[in-house]
Amino acid sequence: MPVEKKRIFVISPYPVYPVADGCARRIDGMSQLLVGKGCEVLLFAPRSQETGTRAVLPNRDIHLVPYSRKRKYNYFINIDLSRVLKKHMVERPDLIILNFPYLSRMVCSIARKHKIPVHLDAHNVEHQRFKNMGRPFVAMLIYLFERYTVKNAQSISVTSKIDADTIKKKFGRGSTVIENFIDTERFFPIKEEDKIELKRSLGMNFPKITSYFGNFTNISTKQAYEIITDEIAPRLLLKDPQVKIAVIGKGLMKRDPPVGNMILVGEVDRIEQHIQVSDIVIVPLVSGGGTRYKILEALGCGIPVLTTPKGNEGLDLKLEDGVILSNIEEFPEKIAAFFNEESGPSRIPPNLENILNKYSLSGISKRIDIQKTFGIIGKKS
């Protein structure tokens, strides 16, 4: 007999729909995973232009509950979220999942009053991420919220074993690894003839395309962009003028490129199309945490990736998976070599079967014990 469907409140400090970055993809994916396990999910997220009132999202069976976020400090204290959350507590959730530690004092206080357990889904070890980016004061502030959240959470999930080890070392708490996942409905390989046609339709009809994409309001993404403009693009232009570097994403102004071989595309509705027309994706990250959706989504499209050991942190992908590792100084040489060799290890396409077994939503869902991870029981089949 099926057990009673469990009701879960998922709290996000950032807008989730339309899904435009790694944070939104994880929250949306985790919500879908829980729905697939037989749970009813109410997702609380800041209003966007597409989300004005509570609604059940089509093709997802997720109840979206919007709230207002007008100022930066609303990441930590949000009166409207408090009001909306208290109003919905009459629906008696079995669990509250908190994404990021920022809103923890407010959410945990409400949950404690109603005797509802809280689960922390840690996208990164946040204070460490800000410390690595050279922002020690912000890191110290976030550390206090993170320590409080970890202490008060019933259970914790992280995106990698590295983050699990860090949380254990810093806070003395165990956690469950739930890797970031590839949305296989959006990110998949296309045929060569379709790639040629897509290049034409996007105005990207160049013989050699490498790309970098991300949310450019994120500090680590901005740092990578500066590395491309200051170090990689100028040297690559000298080595092979035919190679174009397309830069795509939210927060990037479409303007004249700073280097002649760069194309600043800006924000697009379908990032997967720009990945699919690329020959190779570069991820020159030197800071940040968690695992990189950029890498997973490129591999999901069958496109090889050139990244740093920092970019590969938490993934541990190898050349046979389609990932080429290099330090920043050697990126121009590695890119030029990739296009110059017609065959060789770097030209072997990513092993999609292995990647999807580990990083697709369906593959991860099979490995997740919902009772052990969240302390709740899903629907029995």
Chain segment 275-286, per-residue pLDDT in tens = 999 999 999 988
Instruction: Report if residue 2 sits inside a domain.
Output: no
Provide the 3-class DSSP secondary structure of residue 292: coil
pLDDT band at 34 (very low <50, low <70, confident <90, very high): very high
Instruction: Report if residue 1 sits inside a domain.
Output: no
pLDDT tens figures, 328-379? 999 999 999 999 876 555 566 788 888 998 899 888 999 888 888 987 754 4
Instruction: Report if residue 186 sits inside a domain.
Output: no
Instruction: Report if residue 170 sits inside a domain.
Output: yes
Task: Clarify whether residues 198 and 340 are in a common domain.
Answer: yes
Give the model's pLDDT for residue 49: 55
Task: Clarify whether residues 314 and 370 are in a common domain.
Answer: no
Does the structure show a pLDDT above 80 at 48? no
Task: Clarify whether residues 219 and 352 are in a common domain.
Answer: yes
Q: Which residues pair with 176 in a beta bridge?
A: 157
Task: Clarify whether residues 212 and 256 are in a common domain.
Answer: yes
Per-residue pLDDT averaged across 15-22, rounded? 85
pLDDT tens figures, 51-67? 556 677 767 889 999 99
Mean pLDDT of the chain: 89
The pTM score is 0.85
Instruction: Report if residue 380 sits inside a domain.
Output: no
Domain containing residue 296: CATH number: 3.40.50.2000
Task: Clarify whether residues 282 and 370 are in a common domain.
Answer: no
Angle between helices 104-113 and 136-152 (to 10 degrees): 20
Instruction: Report if residue 381 sits inside a domain.
Output: no
Task: Clarify whether residues 222 and 118 are in a common domain.
Answer: no
- Total domains in the fold of the chain: 2
Give the model's pLDDT for residue 18: 83
**Residue numbers of the domain that contains 132:** 7-181+360-374
Give the model's pLDDT for residue 349: 77
Task: Clarify whether residues 276 and 309 are in a common domain.
Answer: yes
**Position with higher pLDDT, 17 vs 75:** 17
Instruction: Report if residue 23 sits inside a domain.
Output: yes
Give the model's pLDDT for residue 381: 35
Task: Clarify whether residues 149 and 287 are in a common domain.
Answer: no
Angle between helices 104-113 and 79-88 (to 10 degrees): 20
| Residue 37 near residue 31 (C-beta atoms within 8 A) | no
Burial class of residue 301 (count of CB atoms within 10 Å of its CB; 0-12, 13-18, 19+): buried
Task: Clarify whether residues 20 and 78 are in a common domain.
Answer: yes
Give the model's pLDDT for residue 346: 58
Instruction: Report if residue 95 sits inside a domain.
Output: yes
Does the structure show a pLDDT above 50 at 14? yes
pLDDT tens figures, 233-248? 999 999 999 999 999 9
Residue 146: both structure tokens together: 């993170």
Give the model's pLDDT for residue 166: 94
Task: Clarify whether residues 294 and 241 are in a common domain.
Answer: yes
Task: Clarify whether residues 260 and 368 are in a common domain.
Answer: no
Does the structure show a pLDDT above 50 at 380? no
